Amino acid sequence: MSAAGDQDSAGARATEVTAKPVLRSRGTSSQTRLTAVIVACALFMQNLDSTVIATALPTMARAFGADPVHMNVALTSYLLSLAVFIPASGWMADRFGTRTVFRAAIVVFTLGSIACGQANSLGVLVLARILQGIGGAMMVPVGRLVLLRSVPKHELVAAMAWLTMPALIGPVVGPPVGGFIVTYASWRWIFYINVPIGLLGVLLVSLFVEDVREPPRGRFDAFGLVLTGLALSGLMFGLETAGRGVVPLRATEAMVALGLAGAFGYWLHARRHPTPLLDLTLVSLPCFRVAISAMILFRAGIGAIPFLLPLMLQIGFGDSAAQSGMITFASSAGALVMKPAAQHALRQFGFRDTLLWNGVISGVMIALCALFRPTWPAAWIYLILLTGGFFRSLQFTAYNTLAYGDVPRARMSAATSLYTAAQQLATTIGISVGALSLHVSMLISHHGVPEPMDFSLAFVVVGLLTTIAAPIALGMPRDAGDDLTGRRSA
């Protein structure tokens, strides 16, 4: 072969090499890790608190001399506060700075926790929970915004992996922790445990988190806050009560109708307002559109697990609350194992392929829970939950990072507000779908109490709901988000 031919062959080989993704290994800086851990701890406190109280409600009802059924208002008042104030978080961060608002949110949440612990009646507890919700509504989206504005883009995947764990671990750890505290200490310590965490958080934020801010996007949209509050609270409470029989059907229908009317009113308002509170035009950005639409379906499926799994283990299998808590904790362990693998997986396979195939696997792992029976060896149940937790955590990390891949810096605060509001709504949808599926199965099988077969149908439904999210990833280019992982194609 001639020298020219050799050169042509060498050139072709070089072209083949450069056409493949080039993986650039970049370490995560100590400042990024420290900031991520600080934010993650604050979010874990919020996620844990939102679930740990459920176990203590009967004991608190006896302490207040109240009807246990009425104690559910302590949960709904917190959710209402979240729904109303989350949309305002982005504007507040732009106006006063991310560090200032995040630190203030921790203070408000901690003060609300103290007030909850001091409550001597249901009315006082409700007011204290509303105060907690105001702090939580600012803490979650602004905490994410702290990372988005202070972490280099190529380190965002590693940082977001830390933020994924509170959302996955909190709802699973909350019930057993609440049961332990109520059994061996006073129910008031459910709230008091937040005080040292909050004080430490304020100190660490003051010392190590930068106060990065952007110019506020016009005047505060007060009318938009009213409309979004009506929309989110109506939809969240309407969907949460659907299929659970906790309120009359007409009340559920009225709440959903109120939520839909508020959503439609806000859509009309946002089209005319120059700087709406929730910027719906963000869905025109390809990565954000794919991430938020797929995330809603995926999180809806995942959101049903903390509701269905403990019920199946305790009612369907006859396990104790302690036994149930130890089994459900396996999915949290899977999330912990995932953290160091997330960046490598996304760098190796890219966002599109990861979200597609990992989403399918996650849906299958949820559907496998339908096969659980009391006679199953505990080791098999642990294995499925551990594996499922690993893949779900990777999926959440990918969604939570990709959503901001093409968002301009000036619109980051608006993106965090919209994305966090969608997360809250998606979780509520998941609980509603799980409860409704369980209720329908009981009606079909004429069971007065749910049996393992009824839970099987519910897990199949939420597994399918989760899987439907996976093909949405095909709506983005194969190289989408490569700049977030250091993955490059020539």
Per-residue model confidence as pLDDT tens digits over 443-454: 898 888 888 899
Question: Between these two residues, 358 and 347, which has the higher pLDDT value?
Answer: 358
pLDDT of residue 78: 86
pLDDT of residue 6: 46
User: What architecture is the 30-220 domain classified under in CATH?
Assistant: Up-down Bundle (1.20)
pLDDT of residue 289: 93
Question: Between these two residues, 54 and 121, which has the higher pLDDT value?
Answer: 121
Closest by CA to 339, choosing from 394, 402, 299, is 394
Res. 22: pLDDT tops 60: no
Res. 203: pLDDT tops 90: yes
Question: Between these two residues, 75 and 345, which has the higher pLDDT value?
Answer: 345
Res. 144: pLDDT tops 70: yes
pLDDT of residue 334: 74
Average pLDDT over residues 374-380: 89
List, as one string, the DSSP characters of 351-418.
Answer: HHHHHHHHHHHHHHHHHHGGG--TTS-HHHHHHHHHHHHHHHHHHHHHHHHHTTTT--GGGHHHHHHH
Which residues, 6+ apart, have CB-to-CB distance to 284 below 8 Å? Answer: none
pLDDT of residue 325: 66
Q: Which fold has domain 279-490?
A: Growth Hormone; Chain: A; (1.20.1250)
pLDDT of residue 246: 63
The domain segmentation of the chain, as residue ranges, is 30-220, 279-490
Cα gap 452→458, rounded to integer Å = 10
7, 83, 276 from 269: Cα distances, Å: 64, 18, 8
Q: What is the DSSP letter of 67?
A: -
Cα gap 397→131, rounded to integer Å = 29
Which band of pLDDT confidence, cut at 50, 70 and 90, is reported for residue 16? very low
Do 279-490 and 30-220 fall under one CATH topology?
yes
Task: State the helix-helix crossing angle for 30-64 and 156-184, rounded to 10 degrees.
Answer: 30
Cα gap 177→51, rounded to integer Å = 10
**Alpha carbon distance, N-terminus to C-terminus of the chain:** 29
Cα gap 300→490, rounded to integer Å = 37
Which pLDDT tens digit goes with each residue over 96-122? 989 999 999 999 999 999 999 999 988
CA 314 to chain centre: 25
Which band of pLDDT confidence, cut at 50, 70 and 90, is reported for residue 456? very high
Closest by CA to 345, choosing from 355, 335, 334, is 355
Helix (H) or strand (E) holding 296: helix 286-303
pLDDT of residue 12: 44
Which pLDDT tens digit goes with each residue over 214-261? 777 778 999 999 999 999 888 888 887 775 566 788 888 899 999 999
Which pLDDT tens digit goes with each residue over 266-323? 999 999 998 898 999 999 999 999 999 999 999 988 888 877 887 888 788 887 766 7
Q: What percent of the chain has pLDDT over 90?
A: 34
CB–CB of 45/199 below 8 Å? no
pLDDT of residue 356: 94
63, 104, 113, 116, 126 from 188: Cα distances, Å: 11, 23, 9, 8, 14
Which residues, 6+ apart, have CB-to-CB distance to 9 below 8 Å? Answer: 1
Cα gap 382→313, rounded to integer Å = 13
pLDDT of residue 296: 93
Nearest-5° Cα angle at 171, 167 to 176: 140
Q: What percent of the chain has pLDDT over 70?
A: 88
Res. 17: pLDDT tops 60: no
Average pLDDT over residues 341-360: 89
Tallying the residues shown for the chain, one arrives at: 490
Which pLDDT tens digit goes with each residue over 71-84? 767 877 887 888 88
Res. 68: pLDDT tops 70: no
The tokens of 283 are what?
């869905």
Mean pLDDT, the chain, rounded, equals 83
Strand partners, 488: 22
pLDDT of residue 298: 94
